């Protein structure tokens, strides 16, 4: 029995919604990271096109701006992911391992003699059997902490690391492009004078071998 | 015949990467200061950030800081000549303004829309009474065994709104961002005394 197409579409849409609920519901920092990375990929594509299609920017500036945009896109996406991911993960770990905690969480850890595990990489408060006792207190700082860390990570990556690196890369590319353009202009004005030394040597070799002359 | 593939984490490389990640993670955790948030104000601030900073606000914060930081970094870039630096600054400012305005507006609108079409049996209307559930106002509601936690459900709505915003921005990046960036670049270059070729 073949299911109607609408049923498949409906099931597919439901799967997407449930999957988003599972992955983004618990961790808003992860949601900001993944959607942010996708967003930068799409907007970078549009920005490169903006420079390519702008006729009012002179060719000399375009040699700087196009590589600047491409460098911007590559560096932006990589640095956004690396920095934001690191900041979000660290912030989540700080809360889940109990390094950053509320007085209620502190009392809870003391009650169950778990304070010695604070700051241990494999320790996770959320995995504890009695987590429900402090769930509201934990959530009070966890969500905001992840969002704040994600925002700080993205500010550092997009507004500090990327502009510095892309300018360095684009300036280097511009110097190369200008040097190439100047070399091409110069070669166009060099008159042809006789034959080159290489051509002369080749002709001389052929001539010598024809006459059977040995040196 | 079925082929059983080992998960990458159980391969020697996967295990080594996991060990490395754990060692680095533990070293960083060791140097980070331990802190108990005793102030109610600090906990309230975290709660407010978690509740009110959606991807739209995140984009706005990013854009507002970018205006000062990115344009400033371009202004201090002495690896290029004055004219190129001037256009580069104009373009960065234009790009940030266009991207922030459209990014914020579209995200905000889509998150609001998702909110309106993802009602739950517990959702209350403006009059404080439970909302009558229809096919339309539950269009984006997921099917879960138990009613989702309110904070987690808010995160889901923000995430779905952001994903939909990205799909919309596939079109608006070219339809709005591109011409707006181009227009603003030429305007800023002219304002800052750029050469005739770059101005309108």
Write the pLDDT tens digit of every residue in A118-177.
Answer: 989 889 998 888 888 888 888 888 888 988 998 999 899 889 988 888 788 878 877 887
Question: How confident is the model over B106-145, as pLDDT tens digits?
Answer: 999 999 999 999 888 888 777 778 888 888 888 888 877 7
pLDDT band at B12 (very low <50, low <70, confident <90, very high): confident
B181 interfaces chain A, CB cutoff of 8 Å: yes
Whole-number pLDDT of residue A212:
46
Whole-number pLDDT of residue A149:
92
- Helix orientation angle between A59-96 and A162-189, rounded to the nearest 10 degrees: 160
Stretch B18-47: mean pLDDT: 90
For chain A, the 3-state helix, strand and coil shares in percent, each to the nearest 5, are 80, 0, 20
Whole-number pLDDT of residue A2:
57
Question: How confident is the model over B84-94, as pLDDT tens digits?
Answer: 888 889 989 99
What is the pTM assigned to this prediction?
A: 0.77
User: Could you tell me which residue, A192 or A15, shows the higher pLDDT?
Assistant: A15
Chain A contact probe: residue of B30, B45, B90, B91 with most A CBs at under 10 A? B91
Of all residues in chain B, what percent carry a pLDDT higher than 70? 92
Stretch B181-197: mean pLDDT: 77
Stretch A8-27: mean pLDDT: 82
CA B139 to chain centroid: 24
Chain A contact probe: residue of B23, B58, B94 with most A CBs at under 10 A? B58
Residue of B nearest to A45 (CA): B173
Rounded to whole angstroms, the Cα distance separating A155 from A20 reads 25
Chain A contact probe: residue of B159, B168, B174 with most A CBs at under 10 A? B159
Q: Is the pLDDT of residue B193 over 80?
A: no
For chain B, the 3-state helix, strand and coil shares in percent, each to the nearest 5, are 65, 0, 30
B168 HSE (CA, 13 A, CB side): 18
Whole-number pLDDT of residue B150:
78
Stretch B81-105: mean pLDDT: 90
Residue B34 CB contacts under 8 Å (≥ 6 apart), including other chains: A99, A100, A118, A119
Cα–Cα distances (Å) from A130 to A92, A133, A134, in that order, read 20, 6, 8
Rounded to a whole number of angstroms, the distance from the CA of A205 to the nearest CA of chain B is 50
Stretch B165-186: mean pLDDT: 88
Cα–Cα nearest to A88, from A50, A129, A11, A34: A34
Whole-number pLDDT of residue A190:
59
Q: Is the pLDDT of residue B194 over 60?
A: no
Residue of A nearest to B197 (CA): A56
**Torsions phi, psi for A79 (to 5 deg):** -70, -35
B99 interfaces chain A, CB cutoff of 8 Å: yes
Rounded to whole angstroms, the Cα distance separating A186 from A204 reads 30
- By three-state DSSP, how is residue B136 classified? coil
Rounded to whole angstroms, the Cα distance separating B143 from A175 reads 58
**Torsions phi, psi for A101 (to 5 deg):** -150, 165
User: What value, to the nearest 5°, has the Cα angle with vertex B99 and ends B96 and B100?
Assistant: 80
Partners of B48 on chain A (C-beta within 8 Å) are: 144
Question: How confident is the model over A44-100, as pLDDT tens digits?
Answer: 777 787 788 878 888 777 777 787 778 778 877 888 889 888 898 999 999 999 999
Partners of A57 on chain B (C-beta within 8 Å) are: 87, 185, 197-198
Torsion angle of C-alpha atoms B54, B56, B57, B61, degrees rounded to 10 = 130
Asked if B26's CB is within 8 angstroms of A120's CB, the reply is: yes
Whole-number pLDDT of residue B196:
43
B74 interfaces chain A, CB cutoff of 8 Å: yes
Of all residues in chain B, what percent carry a pLDDT higher than 90? 32
pLDDT band at A211 (very low <50, low <70, confident <90, very high): very low
Asked if B28's CB is within 8 angstroms of A65's CB, the reply is: no
Whole-number pLDDT of residue B112:
93
Q: Is the pLDDT of residue B22 over 50?
A: yes
Whole-number pLDDT of residue B113:
93
Stretch A174-181: mean pLDDT: 80
Q: What is the ipTM of this complex?
A: 0.80
Residue of B nearest to A89 (CA): B25
């Amino acid at each position: 029995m073949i299911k109607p197409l609408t049923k498949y579409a409906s099931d597919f849409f439901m799967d997407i919604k449930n999957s988003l609920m599972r992955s983004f519901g618990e961790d808003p920092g992860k949601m900001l990271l993944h959607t942010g990375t996708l967003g930068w990929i799409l907007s970078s594509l549009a920005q490169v096109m903006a420079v390519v299609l702008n006729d009012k920017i002179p060719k000399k500036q375009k040699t700087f701006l196009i590589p600047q945009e491409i460098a911007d896109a590559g560096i932006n996406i990589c640095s956004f992911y690396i920095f934001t991911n690191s900041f979000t993960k660290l912030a989540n770990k700080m809360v889940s391992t109990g390094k950053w905690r509320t007085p209620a969480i502190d009392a809870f850890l003391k009650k169950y003699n778990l304070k010695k595990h604070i700051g241990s990489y494999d320790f996770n408060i959320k995995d504890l059997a009695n987590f429900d006792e402090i769930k509201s207190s934990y959530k009070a700082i966890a969500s905001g902490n992840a969002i704040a860390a994600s925002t700080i990570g993205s500010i550092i990556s997009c507004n500090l690391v990327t502009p510095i690196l892309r300018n360095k890369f684009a300036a280097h590319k511009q110097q190369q492009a200008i040097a190439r353009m100047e070399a091409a202009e110069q070669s166009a004005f060099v008159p042809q004078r006789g034959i080159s030394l290489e051509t002369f040597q080749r002709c001389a070799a052929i001539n010598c071998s024809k006459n059977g002359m040995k040196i | 015949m079925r082929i059983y593939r080992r998960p990458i984490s159980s391969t020697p490389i996967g295990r080594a990467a996991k060990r490395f990640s754990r060692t680095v993670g533990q070293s960083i955790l060791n140097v980070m200061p331990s802190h108990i948030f005793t102030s109610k104000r600090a906990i309230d601030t975290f709660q407010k950030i978690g509740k009110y900073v959606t991807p739209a606000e995140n984009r706005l914060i990013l854009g507002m800081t970018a205006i000062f930081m990115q344009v400033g970094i371009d202004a201090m870039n002495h690896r290029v000549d004055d004219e190129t630096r001037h256009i580069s600054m104009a373009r960065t400012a234009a790009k940030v303004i266009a991207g922030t305005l459209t990014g914020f507006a579209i995200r905000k609108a889509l998150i609001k829309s998702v909110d309106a079409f993802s009602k739950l049996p517990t959702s209350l209307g403006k009059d404080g009474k439970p909302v009558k559930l229809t096919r339309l106002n539950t269009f984006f509601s997921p099917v879960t065994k138990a009613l989702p936690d309110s904070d987690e459900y808010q995160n889901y709505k923000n995430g779905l709104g952001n994903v939909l915003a990205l799909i919309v921005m596939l079109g608006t990046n070219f339809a709005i961002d591109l011409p707006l960036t181009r227009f603003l670049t030429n305007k800023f270059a002219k304002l800052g005394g750029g050469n005739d070729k770059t101005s309108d």
